[in-house]
Structure 1
Amino acid sequence: MSLAVFMETPICLVENIDGELKLNPHALQILTSITKPVVVVAITGQHCTGKSYLMKRLAGSNPFFSLGSTVQSETKGIWMWCVPHCSKLDHVLVLLDTEGLGDVEKADSKNDSWIFALAVLLSSTLVYNSMNTINQQALEQMQYVTELTKLIKVKSSPNAAREEESEEFVGFFPDFVWTVRDFTQELKADGCPITSDQYLENALKLSHDMSPRSLPLLLPSNSQGDREITDKNGRVEMANLSRECIRKFFPKRNCFIFHRPTEDKSLLACLQHVPDRQLEPSFRNQIDRFCYYILSNAKPKTLSGVIMINGRRLGKLLETYVRAISSGDVPCLENAVLSLAQTENPAAVQKAAKHYMKQMALKVDLPTETFWDLLSVHTECEKEALSIFMKHSFKDENLKYQNELVQILETKKESFIHQNEELSTEYCQTQLEYLLQSLREAISKGTFSVPGGYNRFKKKREEIINNYYQMPRKGLKADEALQMFLQSLAVTEDYILQIDQALTEQEKALEVEQIKREAAEKEKKLLKQQQVEMQQKMEAQQRSFEENMNQFKRKIVEDRYKILEEQKMILDSKLKEQKKLMEEGFQMKAAEMNITIEDLQAKIKDIENQNSSWMPMLLDTAGTIMMVMLPGEGKIAGLRLKALATSLSK
């Protein structure tokens, strides 16, 4: 299905009906039909700030989100627009426009918090849109970011410490972009020009404007002055909390400012219809820079830096999140990943097995001339299948699904071997039966029941054998079928030999001895062929075992590298945050971060030294694969490896 066909216009993905979030089945079907990785850009912010216009510009198409010209919020719930990514050819750009925050017509502000939380959970880049400037009021309006740890949890364990858990959010949260519309100030600090990114960082500096006499907001005050100080300090605390949360949850953040698009108020009321030439040049340049940055830098959506998300997976995650919210529960990222793995890993097994069968059908022309011809193609197709499984699987606890794939491929390989032998046997028997017709006709006519008939019979038999050897595509059962054919002629041959009066008793004995010798040689040759095939099969199984282990170890190393890079990124952001706190004069807050930083450093060291931690899993997997693939002593060795893995894991 073409994206251009089913996404000509945006569609509501999450409906907000009377404060209850519901999924639109049609939109969900569109999303889950996308098998390519997705770059998800969500835009959120206060209502009537022009969020939908930014999304329209990012889409770069004629259709547009509903853009209100009145103070009433137009976008309800979360709207989706999927378009081909302009620079990442194998990716799809998923744009999410969220309902405006802080709408006075809403009865329940908690609804805003859930909309914001879903935007964070679904996106790889989150755009927060505001008006005029990043000031105290704008930061106070960002209270939604301070509620994230209440609305989302990383670990499923009820005993998980919230402070420790919050450090894990960075691996799941998107990059952050703050856009400021109708910006009229100069980008300067201390009289020097600054960038918009520096402007954001200056705005996120913690404020010291707090009186020692400040009281908790919920306690009564004795005077109007006390109440004013308390209210002021409460706002400062809230703004500081928003600053801290943005700095902690979104280590990668940028800022873009936009001047007014036009001074003509009549044009502002219908901005979606205004051609670019009627907009202010500075605004056009700023919009172009913003779009270029987002389309060039927005990353594909991943979970914990390792799990690549496509449309199908994003839809499954969305279902899990909305189901949790609707039931009054808090979405758990760990449970969502495990739930996704339970549907994706079986699909990865089937995808890999299907690829194996398709490639075997294309590359193997049954019956094969030799056993090795079949095994060599099997080895190649098995390697491709394992690679596909590794690419599409994740969180394969105890290698359950990889072992399942190994068993499936082994069963299918044996099926191909059996089919190969059957086709070869059937073809050879058919051809021998055809060649035997002329011999039977000669026997029925009495051609060999005369003096010297036995020699004539032998000559005819050799002629049949020679013709049989010249036939192509007999397969690996050619010799076995011929042996059975010769055995079927033994009684007839003895009869012709007995009635051939021209032969002496001595000649008869010599002929009988020669027949026995030839039969023994053919039996010996057949036995040797079977031994060679068995050896080739064992060698192929050994290669399959080694390929399974190599790909498993390679995936462990790759995943460990990604996790290590993510942890280093988190550590780097914490060190920078600690340095900022010290520069801003918050020595105590900076000191409190030492425990978190030390924990991250220890975790990184553990990951770097994890060469032995996954050894029990590796041994257990090796044992399972050996028990599936290897015969006799190989199965016993597999049992021993699994026992060793159990002892090491204790």
Structure 2
Amino acid sequence: MVFSTVRREKNLSGTLRVVPEALSYLMGVRQPVVVVAIVGLYRTGKSYLMNKLAGKQKGFSLGATIQSETKGIWMWCVPHPLKKDHTLVLLDTEGLGDVEKGDPVNDAWIFALAILLSSTLVYNSKGAIDNQAVENLQYVTELTDRIKVKSAASASAVEDGGDDGADAQFLQFFPSFVWAVRDFTLLLEINGTKVTEAQYLEHALTLKKGNDKKTVAYNLPRECIRNYFPERRCFVFETPAAPQKMAHLESMDENQLSPSFKAVTSKFCSYIYNESSVKKLKGGLPVTGRMLGHLAKTYVETIARGGVPCLENAVVAMAQIENQAAVQDGLLVYKKGMQEITFPVDMEEMSRQHGHWDSQAIEAFKNRSFKDEKGEYMKTLMEAIQEAYAAPLIENEKASEDLCRQLLSQLSEPIAKKLKNGFYAKPGGYELYSADCKILLDEYNRKPNKGVKTEEILKNFLKEKSVESAAVMLADKKLTEKEKKIHEEREKAALLAQQKKAEEEKRLQMEKILKDERESHEKAVEVIRKKMEDEVALQKKELEMTLECKLKEQRDLMQQGFKAKSDEMKRAINSLRAEVSQTQSSNAIVGILASMVLPGLLSQGCRSRCC
């Protein structure tokens, strides 16, 4: 299904807004997404290429007139053809330079949104990559005015690296770049020598030497493309069919298309499927459909308010939403799991169930959370699970208490009947009564699965029955005063022993609860530690890739004789090297940070259980 994702409102002077239906669909996509956006002048055949990527003949509207069909940004989500459990998100953008629209500001924002949302950006043009084609990509020179990487509070880090430092920041989240040249009729030759499509693109992006105004203007878009999109690819497509048939391209059969056009289209699709990476946040974190929806909403709302989208702010806002939801996901997993227990159970089984569902809750939290750098949300989840654990503990105690009371009531019925009938009101009656009580206790103790209140309920029962026992003893004329005294002492000792058993039962239960909390804490710390290590590793890998891109660009500039420009990049390169080094050393403190993220959790748990 094709969704209008970002729409330009006619009644609001072209204000952009996110379409609720598209946002709702994205929020349901929990898989990582590979996002391919296509931009370019209107009526250049962008929608056709996107339909081919979707594996369909129809989907995105092609149109057969000189009017632009696509308004805003349209989205089509399909299962990724090659990456299992991934979704391919295709974004078809409104044509740039539409004479009817005449709104270059809107064009610039559409271009910026395509970059912000995609992992691969396809620029579609016609004819050849000449100076006019490069100048038509003027929006790339405005990106620093349309996109902020860091918030105002942390912008000084970018300023320290100068303009090249800003370029390096953009590199860490900008998409790969594909230039699709349509209706190409020239020979792929430079100075009479055959070249590849990649060489053709690089030749078109070669800088000119000089500092005059004309040369600077010529170099500016090329420098921006080289700096922002170090990963570049080019495909040249011949005209797919005769001019008179082009208006019906959507309905044409494949065998009616030019063999060369079909071959390049197939190669283009194969490249996108194989080489387009998952959309990532700065720091290398993969983006799911749900996260992409958050980003789209944040960026578009910022633009609609007249602001400039800030990647750092968007990620912080999304992290807050997702981490709060991750806490709820984990808590729901725990509560649902614990509801499956049939009470009563002994404390060993209770602890086992709690440990299992606690682990499942942490796993659910881990799968959704990200950038919980201080462990605040993990701590919230742990505290919520501790509170939630109290309910099944109470329910288990109640079930055990009810079962034990019911069992003792049933077992004591024969004794109650004998008392009522005066069976024990005779010489030797106390001995008979004591024998029946022993049978009762033996049967009670033999009964399995009574739960965590076994000894305490028996203690209370014996205490209640002590008055009854004393009355039977008093009525037994056969007993001497000395014998009565001995029996009284024995009953007191038995009651005291039972009280100690009840206290031991409670102590062991408390120890188990505290052990559960300690193990839960240790699991949480380990998850945070591992997640921090993974995020640091991703960040390091991303920085190293950015550094390598800048080094390659520096080498290219040196080879082309631009020594001054090459030297200008040194500050940014040194800054990146320092970041890589700092990231490496941060591994040493990950363990320390992880051990500190849940302060006071155990002591709070102890107080809550002991009070």
Query: TM-score interval w.r.t. the shorter chain?
Result: over 0.9
Query: Where does residue 79 of structure 2 map in the other structure?
Result: 84
Secondary structure in structure 2 of the residue aligned to 1:609: helix
Secondary structure in structure 2 of the residue aligned to 1:63: coil
Correspondence 1:582-593 to 2 at 5 A: 582-593=558-569
8 Å CA contact 1:42, 1:98 repeated in 2: yes
Secondary structure in structure 1 of the residue aligned to 2:586: coil
Q: Quote the Cα distance in structure 1 between the aligned partners of 2:409 and 2:187.
A: 97
Q: Quote the Cα distance in structure 2 between the aligned partners of 1:545 and 1:569.
A: 36
Q: Quote the Cα distance in structure 1 between the aligned partners of 2:136 and 2:539.
A: 34
Query: Structure 2 vs 1, CA of residues 326 and 543 (structure 1 numbering), >3 Å: closer, same or farther?
Result: same
Secondary structure in structure 1 of the residue aligned to 2:92: strand
Sequence identity percentage: 40
Secondary structure in structure 2 of the residue aligned to 1:308: coil
8 Å CA contact 1:46, 1:100 repeated in 2: yes
Correspondence 1:371-450 to 2 at 5 A: 371-396=347-372, 398-450=374-426
Query: Structure 2 vs 1, CA of residues 526 and 34 (structure 1 numbering), >3 Å: closer, same or farther?
Result: same
8 Å CA contact 1:153, 1:165 repeated in 2: no
Query: Where does residue 60 of structure 2 map in the other structure?
Result: 65
8 Å CA contact 2:533, 2:590 repeated in 1: no
Query: Structure 1 length as normaliser, TM-score?
Result: 0.87
Q: Tell me the alpha carbon deviations over residues 84-143 of structure 1, each in whole angstroms, 9 at most, x when there is no partner.
A: 222333222221100111222233211111110011011111111111222222111111
Q: Quote the Cα distance in structure 2 between the aligned partners of 1:138 and 1:492.
A: 104
Query: Where does residue 298 of structure 2 map in the other structure?
Result: 320
Query: Where does residue 242 of structure 1 map in the other structure?
Result: 221
Q: Quote the Cα distance in structure 1 between the aligned partners of 2:428 and 2:169.
A: 95
8 Å CA contact 1:39, 1:298 repeated in 2: yes
Query: Where does residue 336 of structure 2 map in the other structure?
Result: 358
Correspondence 1:20-169 to 2 at 5 A: 20-157=15-152, 160=156, 161=159, 163=163, 164-169=165-170
Q: Tell me the alpha carbon deviations over residues 368-425 of structure 1, each in whole angstroms, 9 at most, x when there is no partner.
A: 12x2221222222222222322332223353322221111011112222222212211
Q: Quote the Cα distance in structure 2 between the aligned partners of 1:171 and 1:286.
A: 30
One-letter identity of the residue aligned with 1:80: M
Query: Where does residue 483 of structure 1 map in the other structure?
Result: 459
Q: Quote the Cα distance in structure 2 between the aligned partners of 1:624 and 1:581.
A: 56
8 Å CA contact 1:10, 1:64 repeated in 2: no
Correspondence 1:166-185 to 2 at 5 A: 166-185=167-186
Secondary structure in structure 2 of the residue aligned to 1:293: helix
8 Å CA contact 2:379, 2:598 repeated in 1: no
Aligned counterpart for 1:330 among listed residues 283, 289, 308: 308
Secondary structure in structure 2 of the residue aligned to 1:354: helix
Q: Quote the Cα distance in structure 1 between the aligned partners of 2:419 and 2:189.
A: 112
One-letter identity of the residue aligned with 1:341: A
Name whichever of 100-109 and 558-567 sits farther off.
100-109
Q: Quote the Cα distance in structure 1 between the aligned partners of 2:273 and 2:581.
A: 35
Q: Quote the Cα distance in structure 2 between the aligned partners of 1:595 and 1:384.
A: 47
Question: Gaps (5+ residues) in structure 1?
Answer: 1-6, 217-232, 635-650
Secondary structure in structure 1 of the residue aligned to 2:290: helix
Query: Structure 2 vs 1, CA of residues 486 and 62 (structure 1 numbering), >3 Å: closer, same or farther?
Result: farther
Query: Where does residue 230 of structure 2 map in the other structure?
Result: 251
One-letter identity of the residue aligned with 1:68: G
Q: Tell me the alpha carbon deviations over residues 208-239 of structure 1, each in whole angstroms, 9 at most, x when there is no partner.
A: 3x5x7x4x4xxxxxxxxxxxxxxxx2xx4334
1:605 positional shift:
0.6
One-letter identity of the residue aligned with 1:50: G
Q: Quote the Cα distance in structure 1 between the aligned partners of 2:309 and 2:8.
A: 18
8 Å CA contact 1:12, 1:24 repeated in 2: yes
1:595 positional shift:
0.5
Secondary structure in structure 2 of the residue aligned to 1:21: strand
8 Å CA contact 1:403, 1:624 repeated in 2: no
Secondary structure in structure 1 of the residue aligned to 2:74: strand
8 Å CA contact 1:16, 1:76 repeated in 2: no
One-letter identity of the residue aligned with 1:567: L
8 Å CA contact 1:10, 1:65 repeated in 2: no
Secondary structure in structure 2 of the residue aligned to 1:446: coil
Aligned counterpart for 1:15 among listed residues 8, 13, 27: 8
1:566 positional shift:
0.4
Q: Quote the Cα distance in structure 2 between the aligned partners of 1:61 and 1:439.
A: 84
One-letter identity of the residue aligned with 1:571: L
Query: Where does residue 603 of structure 1 map in the other structure?
Result: 579
Secondary structure in structure 2 of the residue aligned to 1:304: coil
1:34 positional shift:
2.6
Secondary structure in structure 2 of the residue aligned to 1:14: strand
Q: Quote the Cα distance in structure 2 between the aligned partners of 1:499 and 1:25.
A: 85
Query: Where does residue 642 of structure 1 map in the other structure?
Result: none
1:31 positional shift:
2.6
1:631 positional shift:
5.0
Secondary structure in structure 2 of the residue aligned to 1:13: strand
Query: Structure 2 vs 1, CA of residues 326 and 516 (structure 1 numbering), >3 Å: closer, same or farther?
Result: same
| Alignment of 1:367 onto 2:360 | no
Aligned counterpart for 2:256 among listed residues 278, 295, 309: 278
Q: Quote the Cα distance in structure 2 between the aligned partners of 1:512 and 1:627.
A: 44
| Alignment of 1:269 onto 2:247 | yes
Query: Where does residue 503 of structure 2 map in the other structure?
Result: 527
One-letter identity of the residue aligned with 1:438: P
Q: Quote the Cα distance in structure 2 between the aligned partners of 1:107 and 1:23.
A: 22
Question: Greater RCO between the two (CA within 8 Å, min separation 6)?
Answer: 2
1:617 positional shift:
4.5
Name whichever of 472-481 and 150-159 sits farther off.
150-159
Aligned counterpart for 2:447 among listed residues 444, 456, 471: 471
8 Å CA contact 2:375, 2:598 repeated in 1: no
One-letter identity of the residue aligned with 2:6: L
One-letter identity of the residue aligned with 1:33: G
Q: Quote the Cα distance in structure 2 between the aligned partners of 1:14 and 1:62.
A: 24
Aligned counterpart for 1:453 among listed residues 408, 415, 429: 429
8 Å CA contact 1:16, 1:77 repeated in 2: no
One-letter identity of the residue aligned with 2:239: R
Name whichever of 507-516 and 562-571 sits farther off.
507-516
Question: Gaps (5+ residues) in structure 2?
Answer: none
Q: Quote the Cα distance in structure 1 between the aligned partners of 2:491 and 2:600.
A: 49
Name whichever of 114-123 and 316-325 sits farther off.
316-325
Name whichever of 386-395 and 331-340 sits farther off.
386-395
Q: Tell me the alpha carbon deviations over residues 565-612 of structure 1, each in whole angstroms, 9 at most, x when there is no partner.
A: 000000000000000101111110000000000000011111111145
